[in-house]
Structure 1
Amino acid sequence: MQSETTTMIPPSLVIQAQNVRFSYGSHPLFKGLSFTLPAGSITGLLGKNGEGKTTLLKLLSGLLLAKGGSLTVLGHSSRERSVPLLQEVYYLPEEVQLPATSATQYLDGAGQFYPHYDAHLARQLLKELDVPPTNNLRRLSMGQKKKVALVLALSLRVPLLLLDEPTNGLDIPSKSKFRQLLVQHISDEQTVLISTHQVRDLEQMIDRLMILHQNQVICNETIARLESAFYCGIASEAPHVAPLYSEPSVWGEIVMTPRTAETAETGGFSMELFFNALMYNTQAVLQHLSQPANDTLTPQAPLSL
């Protein structure tokens, strides 16, 4: 049997992708994808439909195999699908399929394949999310099933957690509760990568942003760096700065501009506005972002639009 290929990867990095290639049949998706992801972050993965967000999560988890390049996850080649790697990574798809058993039986059954599974935490989370622990999962609503899947993801305690649209199917109170539980129960040793279109659901908890565009990672920055570089807010509060992007709102024109001393104490940061600006005015946004950070500007709180 072929031995597993293990690659030395800096301890500060959880993922290291170099020139990754992947295609569906004759249709190429990634032609040379390269990026790194540091440990201990909660990263939002954004991109338009068809950019490959779900495919990337599956490549990282070993559910899909790259056609070329190097993809190292937690020091292991994802292509090898080794037991040590599979025990340390968990991928939660957008749509979940659960067996005809109770929540506790399902959680404990799946948890036995992961060395850090916390059965006590699983039961605590079921209670906090108001999920009946003994009811047949097939009889639960879609939202309740999604909660069970999220409970499993959090209670496995894996070093790398991959979540694909985790808030889809949840009602508003459940989304809020999930955000609280994720922040509360994810340790500093864990890394979370969340693919989502629901940026407002998760904006308050994400500390890093990775954006796919034209099947390449064009932005991979901390929220602190982005909010120190850009002003997001009412146009009238940044009257002397040319906007990189603008859109109407009930409060007036909302803009994203380079942050200057004039806007250092105003505005905030909006992931949604930044993403739209990056899609609309890609080169100008990236050019400004490539400039040295202005450490004299104080990062602002996320903007509620």
Structure 2
Amino acid sequence: MITTKQLSFGYKSGRPVFSGLDLSLPQGSVVGLLGKNGEGKTTLLKNLCGQLFSKQGEINVLGFTPRERKVAFLQQVYLLPEEIHVPQITIRRYFDLCAPFYPNYDEAIAHELIETFSLDWKMNLGKVSQGQKKKALIAFALSLRIPLLLLDEPTNGLDIPSKGEFRRAVARHLSEEQTVIISTHQVRDLEQLIDRIVILERGSIYCNESIADLSERLYFGLVSPDEEARALYTEPSLGGTVGILPLQGEAVTDTFSMELFFNAVVSRGEELMRHLHTPSDTSK
């Protein structure tokens, strides 16, 4: 579905963003792409869709090389950027202009989502709020029914009700064959949607794990004083100490916390990764 091999990329000024980045993602995943500011999440998304070109390495997306920008490839991938810049035209005009490029566009889904997001086809995209622009383009993206959606901070600018509508819209209209990569800092907004987590750190893929596998091997939640000694990570919270513990024969739980896991990777990543990749800890 998506593979990169020894991918290297850098802008003209500054350090390289990636160096020898290897990534493999299966079809049908909803991937949370996480990383600290400046780690290159947006840059990676743009490389995957052919908006930026790597200096070295290979990228294969849907059987295509993105930098070649073949029409057959571009019809199957869509990037929703964090900052949206659109002409001063109505939502209806924007959809009419752009939708014909995508063979699987579904007008019924578009109408449903425009209504769901409390938008009006006559709204001028150049005169509405950033949040309304984003909702219009989320509706457009989900109506395309394409194999690969790349969403860069999709919930930024959305109010609380709209974030809930976004989650429900993705859950309702995403098919099992579609892959979505969501770059986000708003992990709590999207935790219920994501089934795989990829973490960028120091120019490489530091973690690429399914939520199901992590949930089978790790417990996330409150940690008693007696358990702190074997905890892989802990942090204080209003309800007491929370942390991550290895599961050692215990029943599988559904306690996974993306925020807690990311914090653990940032602060104690080597120890956590060593535990995950020790064969004796679990069998996949």
TM-score grouping bracket, smaller chain normalisation: over 0.9
Q: How far off its partner does 1:239 sit?
A: 2.3
**1:119 paired to 2:107:** yes
Is 1:69 the counterpart of 2:57? The answer is: yes
**Aligned twin of 1:92:** 80
> Does the CA-based 8 Å contact 1:117-1:157 persist in structure 2?
yes
Q: Are the counterparts in 2 of residues 108 and 119 from structure 1 also a CA contact under 8 Å?
A: no
Taking a change above 3 Å as real, the CA distance of residues 265 and 160 of structure 1, as seen in their structure-2 partners, is closer
| Number of residue pairs aligned between Structure 1 and Structure 2 | 282
Give, as a single letter, the amino acid of the residue that structure 2 aligns with 1:290.
H
Distance 1:237 1:107, change over 3 A: farther
| Contact persistence 1:233–1:267 (CA under 8 A) | no
Q: How far apart are the structure 2 equivalents of 1:151 and 1:291?
A: 43
In structure 1, runs of 5+ residues without a counterpart are: 1-13, 297-305
4+ aligned runs moved over 2 Å, structure 1: 237-241, 264-267, 291-296
Separation (CA, whole Å) in 2 of partners of 1:51 and 1:191: 22
Match of 2:258 in 1: 271
CA contact (8 A) 1:241 1:257 kept: no
User: Counterpart of 1:255?
Assistant: 243
Further displaced range: 47-56 or 267-276: 267-276
The one-letter code sitting in structure 1 at the alignment partner of 2:266 is M
Q: TM-score, normalised by structure 1?
A: 0.88
Give the distance between the partners of 1:295 and 1:247, measured in 2 at CA.
Answer: 28
Question: Alpha-carbon deviation of 1:267?
Answer: 7.2
Residue 197 (structure 2) pairs with residue 209 (structure 1): yes
Normalising by structure 2, report the TM-score: 0.95
Aligned equivalents of 1:180, 1:187: Cα separation in 2: 13
Aligned to 2:171: 183
User: What is the one-letter code of the residue matched to 2:65?
Assistant: S
Measured in 2, the distance between the counterparts of 1:266 and 1:91 equals: 34
Contact conserved, 1:104 with 1:123, CA < 8 A, in 2? Answer: no
Residue identity over aligned pairs, in percent, reads 50
Partners of 1:127 and 1:102 lie apart in 2 by 15
Q: Which amino acid counterpart does residue 124 of structure 2 have in structure 1?
A: N
1:36 aligned onto 2:50: no
Aligned to 1:76, the other structure's residue is in SS state: coil
Which sits farther off after the overlay, 130-139 or 201-210? 130-139
Q: Deviations over 1:41-99 (max 9, x none)?
A: 10000001111000000000100001111001100011111111111110010011122
For 2:24, give the aligned amino acid: T
Report the counterpart of residue 68 of structure 2 in structure 1.
80
- AA aligned to 2:210 is T
Counting only pairs closer than 5 Å after superposition, residues 103-252 of structure 1 correspond to structure 2 as 103-236=91-224, 239=227, 242-252=230-240
**Which residue identity lines up with residue 24 of structure 1 in the other structure?**
Y
Q: Residues 266 and 123 from structure 1, CA distance in 2 versus in 1: closer, same or farther, beyond 3 angstroms? A: closer
Match of 1:10 in 2: none
Q: Does 1:47 align with 2:35?
A: yes
Q: For the residues of structure 1 that align with 2:106 and 2:270, how far apart are their CA atoms?
A: 46
The alpha-carbon distance between structure 1 residues 252 and 70, as it changes in their structure 2 partners (threshold 3 A), is same
**How far apart are 1:288 and its partner, in Å?**
0.8
Name the SS for the 2:275 alignment partner. Answer: helix
Contact 1:29–1:215 (Cα < 8 Å) also in 2: yes
